[in-house]
Structure 1
Amino acid sequence: MKNNSEKVFLAHIVAASENNVIGANGDMPWHLPNDFKYFKNKTWGMPVIMGRKSYEALKESLPGRINIVITKKTDFHPKDALVFNNIEDAITKAKESDAKEIFIIGGGEIFKQTIDIVSRIYLTRVHATIEGDTYYPEINKNIWKLVSAQSFPADDKNNYPYTFEVWEKNIDAS
């Protein structure tokens, strides 16, 4: 059990295009294996919280992580995930782990509902304008500060250029 004085970061981890698209027809509209590796390395051993549609898009629970799904559907019972009907209960359960970071991994509605309560955003910015139907909320630069950015060109495996960005709440913002 964690000592209550330890800080647990609540974070978003997401890939979004220049126009903030994160999904199209229930899937990711790009192929970036390096982003998958980044996602796996950041979230391994940590609780991941997601909406039902995001969970179903994965086809199965993410190994090596506590999978927590938020849904209002009372008949949804995946074998390798915990299910809650609200964000607050999901976060409370995730905090019972010994993890120092809890990741919210989607989808669009879950991101929108939690943008004000997270303290960090791991954003893979895909450098393209993409058509889609699911969006990440706009990052308010009066509230958020870019603390690191690492850019990569498109290559034979990653079909778009991209940047791994880390944003943290600006403590000077009031």
Structure 2
Amino acid sequence: MITYVWAEDKKHQIGYQGRLPWHLPADLKYFKSQTMGHPILMGRKTFDSLPHILPGRHHLVLTHSQDFKNKYKDNQQVTVFLNKKELYTYLEKNNDEDICAIGGVSIFKILLDKVDCLKKTAIDASFKADTVMPQIDYSKFVLIKEEKHEADNKNEYAYSFLTYVRKDKDHG
């Protein structure tokens, strides 16, 4: 099963200069709770944006860089794929695992037909950004959970945690 885990603003923006455009501690806590114990799938730029290898999660990274693959070949917490075919083979062999795709745009785009669950943090604000979430056909999903939160002394913006599941579970 593939789950997207991401945060976006009111304009569906997700990044600015390789980083999140906002600071929302509740979203970081939510991200950790949703991904802990699951493999996290990302592109190399998203991997590079992490502060370090995140504990308790196997990192799956798609890149074209053989040097990057060589750098992590002995690291048990990181598996590197050099192309979509390698990635798809891994996903087929591990389709009973809940794999969390966390970005960037290229990862979200290539898995649009394969994603089973969407876990979105919708931030009720707009930010300066240079990266937009690919368009998702929400008519193919049903909203099963919504948690609304107002801004508070730790979280400057109102936000909602939204969970969607694909209506047609037989999507290949």
Alignment TM-score > 0.5, same fold = yes
TM-score by length of 1: 0.85
**2:104 maps to what in 1?**
107
Give, in whole Å, the separation in 1 of the partners of 2:47 and 2:167. Answer: 31
Question: Cα RMSD over matched residues?
Answer: 2.2
Q: 1:98 deviation in Å?
A: 9.6
- 119-128 vs 98-107, greater mean Cα deviation: 98-107
**SS at structure 1 position matched to 2:37:** coil
Percent of counterpart pairs with the same letter?
35
Tell me which of 13, 25, 36 is aligned to 2:5.
13
Tell me, yes or no, if the aligned pair for 1:95 and 1:102 is still in contact at 8 Å.
no
Answering whether residue 90 of structure 2 is matched by residue 93 of structure 1, we say yes
**Correspondence list, 1:89-168, <5 A:** 89-90=86-87, 92-93=89-90, 100-168=97-165
**SS at structure 2 position matched to 1:38:** helix
Q: 1:87 deviation in Å?
A: 3.8
**2:60 maps to what in 1?**
68
Deviations 1:61-108 (A, max 9, x none): 111011111100111123441111124433543666697411111011
**SS at structure 2 position matched to 1:35:** helix
Q: 1:163 to 1:42 in 2, by over 3 A?
A: same
Answering whether residue 22 of structure 2 is matched by residue 25 of structure 1, we say no
- 133-142 vs 144-153, greater mean Cα deviation: 133-142
Q: 1:23 deviation in Å?
A: 0.3
Deviations 1:18-73 (A, max 9, x none): 11111001100111111111111111111111000000000321110111111001
Structure 1 runs of 4+ with >4 Å offset: 94-99
Tell me which of 165, 168, 171 is aligned to 2:168.
171
Of Structure 1 and Structure 2, which has the larger fraction of its residues in helix?
2
Amino acid at match of 2:130: D
Tell me, yes or no, if the aligned pair for 1:46 and 1:99 is still in contact at 8 Å.
no
**SS at structure 1 position matched to 2:67:** coil
Amino acid at match of 2:86: D
Give, in whole Å, the separation in 2 of the partners of 1:99 and 1:59. Answer: 29
